[in-house]
């Protein structure tokens, strides 16, 4: 229920939050609640991914990406997610989720969600995803063009390598499935 409450609160505040440009960083402020904790009494690693979803929703709403998705009757699909945990977040600690587009290639859009507390990055979640309609996947370049973006920022090499490793794993899984049939 905790996450539903956070989502409803974010949607309630939306009319007072200013729209942003497509390459802007959005910030959502939160606090660690008891349901966010694991047995070590800090935010559980899986919760970071869920909280990143809320940051991504805020970004999609404020950047106008939801309007583009509605025009195409498309839904967002998360393909892969990766997390880096640097410092623990403890009970009742205030933190922010900073969300931004890192760039895009011919198939995927890449987003970063930085968890910041007391001026320090406590964790980072990186996601590659796309928008899919009944007609198929919408090319990221086409999608972001409708947000006023023309060219992707240069993708860092680590991000290209990560994306390639995700593609390699998909190929391996398909081969394993084919061998079982």
Q: Closest Cα partner for 51 from 79, 67, 29? A: 29
Task: Name the pLDDT band for 85 (thresholds 50, 70, 90).
Answer: very high
The arithmetic mean of pLDDT across residues 8-17, rounded, is 72
Share of the chain above pLDDT 70, in %: 97
How confident is residue 2, by pLDDT bands cut at 50, 70 and 90? low
Mutual orientation of helices 65-72 and 45-63 as an angle, nearest 10°? 80
How do the domains of the chain map onto residue ranges? 2-153
SS3 state of residue 73:
coil
- Does the pLDDT value for residue 125 go beyond 50? yes
Closest Cα partner for 129 from 142, 105, 110, 101?
Answer: 110
Decide yes or no: CATH 3.30.70.1230 for domain 2-153.
Answer: no
pLDDT given at position 1: 42
Could you tell me the pLDDT band of residue 14, with boundaries at 50, 70 and 90?
low
pLDDT tens, position by position, 34-58: 999 999 999 999 999 999 999 999 9
Q: Determine the straight-line distance between the first and last CA of the chain, rounded to whole angstroms.
A: 41
């Amino acid at each position: 229920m905790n996450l539903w409450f956070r989502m409803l609160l974010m949607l309630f505040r939306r009319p007072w939050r200013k729209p942003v440009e497509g390459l802007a960083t959005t910030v959502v402020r939160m606090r660690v609640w008891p349901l966010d904790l694991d047995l070590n009494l800090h935010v559980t690693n899986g919760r970071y991914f869920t909280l990143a979803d809320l940051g991504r929703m805020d970004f999609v709403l404020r950047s106008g990406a939801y309007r583009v998705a509605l025009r195409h009757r498309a839904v967002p699909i998360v393909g892969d997610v990766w997390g880096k945990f640097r410092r623990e977040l403890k009970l009742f600690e205030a933190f922010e989720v900073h969300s931004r587009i890192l760039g895009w290639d011919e198939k995927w859009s890449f987003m970063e969600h930085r968890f910041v507390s007391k001026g320090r990055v406590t964790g980072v979640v990186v996601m590659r995803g796309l928008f899919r309609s009944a007609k198929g996947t919408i090319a990221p370049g086409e999608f972001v063009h409708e947000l006023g973006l023309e060219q992707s920022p240069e993708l860092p090499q680590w991000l290209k390598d990560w994306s390639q490793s995700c593609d390699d794993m998909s190929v391996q899984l398909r081969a394993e499935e084919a061998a079982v049939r």
